Amino acid sequence: MFPLQNKKVVITRAQNQIKETSWLFKNLGADVIEFPTIKITEPDDWSELDNLITNLKFDLIIFTSTNSVLFFHNRVKQINVDLNFDKITVLAVGFKTAELCKTLFSKVDLIPEDNSSNGIIELLRDYDLRNKNILIPKSEISDNKIYDYLKSKMANVYPVIVYKNSLPDKGDLSEVIDKIKKDKIDIFIFTSPSTFKNFIELLELKNPSEFFNSSIIGVIGKTTKSEIEKFGIRNILIPEVYTLENLAKTISNYFKKE
């Protein structure tokens, strides 16, 4: 008997990431509904990044997601800029981001224990960042917490948008939206605050706490958990180590105990 046999799981990642997560839960016996609540696209204008990587030398680059790595790498290749990573410190948030940095840049130097803004701040607390040039490839909805901290350490900080994180076309998802509304869903997976907020918007939920009352929510990271708790939702599972594999184990163990 698989631990998630006969359990219906809704996966809400971006389209380019959803298959891997879907496979993970299907292998545990779950009936998976793929519901991409995020649309990932290139920015409308690359000029800011192009100017920065052409005219400045960076001491540190902070990658907070696999998307930031992929879109940054693709643009660097596209405009044929030769970045000397031997002289750049690479900080990657999360195991998957770190592995991708190793694959594409042949290195990763720093990985925070906590996959969050607070984790980055704690990791860099004892570093002298005065006058260091720091690049942060990001989405347009990323918060400014890391930027503000690095500025307080007298660093030269350059946050630059390398991908857009937007709401998918609701019309393209009408069938799966109807299915989610009609079926009894046992588990919802949210990997970021935006996956959750977009879910609410796409389903036009007036009372999210009531909607999720009889389901379990699995999340990656404290930031996502905090965002969901703002709506009065408490039935949330979060792994000690913020990976999807560990989240799958946490959810499996929950249902085994049940």
Residue pLDDT, tens place only, 3-49 = 999 999 999 998 888 988 999 999 999 999 999 999 999 999 999 99
At position 109, the amino acid (one-letter code) is D
Number of H helices, E strands in the chain: 11, 10
> Does pLDDT of 216 surpass 80?
yes
C-alpha 117: how far from its chain's center? 12
87/60 Cα distance (integer angstroms): 9
Q: For 130-148, what is each residue's pLDDT tens digit?
A: 999 999 999 988 878 899 9
Q: The tokens 């594409």 sit on which residue?
A: 104
Domains of the chain and CATH, by start: 8-38+168-257 (3.40.50.10090), 46-164 (3.40.50.10090)
Query: Residue 222: pLDDT band by 50, 70, 90 thresholds?
Result: confident
Model confidence at 1: pLDDT above 80: no
pLDDT digits (tens, 9 = 90+) for 87-115: 999 999 988 899 999 999 999 999 998 87
Q: Residues 134, 62: contact at Cβ < 8 Å?
A: yes
Provide the strand spans (E) within 122-169: 133-139, 156-166
Q: What angle do CA 156, 159, 163 make, to 5 degrees?
A: 160
For 117, counting Cβ atoms within 10 Å of its Cβ (0-12 exposed, 13-18 middle, 19+ buried), the class is buried
Residues 6+ apart with CB under 8 A from 207: none
153-164 tens-digit pLDDT: 999 999 999 999
